[in-house]
Amino acid sequence: MKTKTFFYASSLFFTVMAACTKETDFKNSSESTVLSATLQDNVLSVCDQFSYGDTIFYVQELPNDYIIHTTVPLSGTFGCFPDELKINPINGDIDITEGETGLKYLVWFVPAGTKDTCKKYLTVSGIDFTDSIYVLKNNPGVAKPVYNSTPGLSAGANAEFDDGHDDDDGDGFTDEPLAGQEVIPQGVALDKATGNINLRQTIANGALGPNPVPGTFKDFVLNYRISDKSKKTLNKIAFRLYYYQDQSQIPPRLKRQLLAKKSQVILNDGSNHNLNVSTANFSTAKNGAGEVKCRPPYIIVVQK
């Protein structure tokens, strides 16, 4: 891991703090109003500076973790929603390597000495699977990956899904997944070019056993490479596959968890874009998602 240097915008900090101290000394309401407007202008100015230089970041093959910083050092408190992103709450540094990829995040910043909040959306490139129930009665049930939090967007040509422990880029095995993690040999009927999963065939292949009983589930790790700005750097996502014979067998708790997980996923179709920070911080507890996080996605297969 790299040694991180912590920066502080002290001049802004003391400017805001001095203004807050002076406010308590004003007796005249009009002067207090002027001061409040000044404080608001200061916060708006800080929010204008709150940036990481881009809104989408790609995994990179580096000797150390890939860490991004705010373009201007800021003093205050940082956080994100959902909490699958590794962010330093003091200086806002984000470790792309250690966070979950394929998700869109609401990243927020509260300037020191204020209760106001600056917000930005940031995407870590990759794929996700939608938390869903797939009924196989009249269709094969195909789970399609969502690329860069945009439904319907293709990951492009030359993608490789279910990468194995093979030196396919000619630089050794250090950047290859562990042997035995491939999902296709485990029975998952996955298209290596698109990442689509045929769920009917997956169950028939015995991915959850030869005769799975209702409630059977298993976690899989899908390793993949995409020919985008990540330059085919190894990426991965874990997903959980459930099986039930009938929808009535799905426990109420699992249905609640599914809804809670879906509420934590921000998509580029407008979903969850009305989040405010206070809602984001507590929505998981209110919606029952305290039981689960948004990863791994749940793929629930039902025969009828």
> Domain spans of the chain?
10-124, 128-302
**pLDDT confidence of residue 71:** 96
Residue 222 near residue 236, CB atoms below 8 Å: yes
DSSP code for 2: P
Q: What is the pLDDT of residues 209-255, one digit of tens each?
A: 999 999 999 999 999 999 999 999 999 999 999 999 999 999 999 99
Token reading at 4: 């991180």
Distances (CA, A) of 210 to 8, 187, 197, 206: 59, 10, 18, 5
pLDDT at 14 over 60: no
pLDDT value at residue 295 = 96
* Token reading at 110: 């509260």
Q: What does pLDDT average to over the chain?
A: 84
Instruction: Look at residue 176 in the predicted model and tell me its pLDDT.
Output: 78
Radius of gyration of the chain (CA): 23
State the CATH class of domain 10-124.
mainly beta
The confidence band for 164, taking pLDDT boundaries of 50, 70 and 90, is confident
Q: Determine how many CB atoms are found less than 10 A away from the CB of residue 32.
A: 15
Peptide bond into 296 cis (omega under 30): yes
pLDDT tier at 177, thresholds 50, 70, 90? confident
**111 and 48 in contact (C-beta within 8 Å)?**
no
Q: How far apart are CA 247 and CA 255, in angstroms?
A: 10
